[in-house]
């Protein structure tokens, strides 16, 4: 997909109604209050010695950064939003529930979607607030052997 197609996909997501239920869509996933588009997906890395992984990681960061430049021309500089603390809160790491019924620590805080899913595979997002919605770009990878994905997110749900 070209940069022009990525921008068109983001514009389409901004104009679409949100789905009423969580699930797959023609461009990724969605649910009440959000769309997540998979703009670009790499090959997997099961047979890689690390060289291709590093080059692909750099390529996907560059793709995100290039789109960021174009979107910044529309909406200004993005906020860089780390998802590490959300992941820690959702997994129970460094999370003190301070009096939950289950004693705390064994399960984490419930993070609203799309932020909960994103925090499991995206380290940080380039984030804008436009016309009452959040627009974000991020690079996802669930595990070292699995593909990278360039994601675009449109949501009306505020980051936690």
DSSP track, 39-53? EEE----TT--SHHH
Asked if 106 and 92 touch (Cβ cutoff 8 Å), the reply is yes
pLDDT in tens, the chain (160 residues): 789 999 999 999 999 999 999 999 877 899 999 999 999 999 999 988 878 999 999 999 999 999 999 999 999 999 999 998 887 777 766 544 443 334 344 477 888 899 999 999 999 999 999 999 999 999 999 888 999 999 999 999 999 8
The Cα–Cα gap between 108 and 20 comes to 26
Residue with token string 């820690």: 88
Q: What is the pLDDT of residue 109?
A: 80
Res 67: pLDDT: 97
Q: What pLDDT shows up at residue 27? A: 77
Three-point CA angle 63, 68, 73, nearest 5°: 135
- For position 97, what pLDDT does the model report? 41
Q: Residue 4 and residue 42: Cα distance in Å, rounded?
A: 19
61 near 150, Cβ under 8 Å? no
Q: Which distant-in-sequence residues (6+ apart) come within 8 Å of 72 by Cβ?
A: 78
Q: What is the pLDDT of residue 93?
A: 63
């Amino acid at each position: 997909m070209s940069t022009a197609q990525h921008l068109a996909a983001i514009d389409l997501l901004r104009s679409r109604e949100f789905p009423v239920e969580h699930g797959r869509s023609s461009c990724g996933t969605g649910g009440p209050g959000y769309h997540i588009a998979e703009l670009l997906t790499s090959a997997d890395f099961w047979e890689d010695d690390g060289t291709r992984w590093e080059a692909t990681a750099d390529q996907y960061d560059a793709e995100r950064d290039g789109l960021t430049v174009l979107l910044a021309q529309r909406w200004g500089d993005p906020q860089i939003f780390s998802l590490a603390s959300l992941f820690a809160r959702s997994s129970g790491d460094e999370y003190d529930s301070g009096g939950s019924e289950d004693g705390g620590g064994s399960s984490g805080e419930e993070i609203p979607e799309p932020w909960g899913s994103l925090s499991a595979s995206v380290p940080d997002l380039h984030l804008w607030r436009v016309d009452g919605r959040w627009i974000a770009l991020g690079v996802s990878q669930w595990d070292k052997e699995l593909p990278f994905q360039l994601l675009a997110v449109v949501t009306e749900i505020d980051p936690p």
